[in-house]
Structure 1
Amino acid sequence: MAREYLNVRVDADLKKQLQKLAKRENRTLSNLVETVLGNYAKRKSS
């Protein structure tokens, strides 16, 4: 699957929270956000 860039702005506190979660799960911030968005899209598409 081809990869594309998606730029978003988030609150600084949210970014810090997401970075902590990503670190805890041994994944990159980008991977965490992609997973979260993918799960959301799947739930909403059903």
Structure 2
Amino acid sequence: MELLLLSNSTLPGKAWLEHALPTIAGQLNAVVLRIHPFCPGDANLG
């Protein structure tokens, strides 16, 4: 199993996942693509 973990889904001035699309496209030989978004309730925790 291979995992691609992203610490963010957007960059200022770019569309959602635009900065990661080349890497994602390179991994699309996989049978299943799952996107599990995670967002803490408060980004300023700790």
Shorter-chain TM range is under 0.3
Q: TM-score by structure 2 length?
A: 0.27
Structure with higher helix content: 1
Q: TM-score by structure 1 length?
A: 0.27
Instruction: Flag the structure with larger Rg.
Output: 2
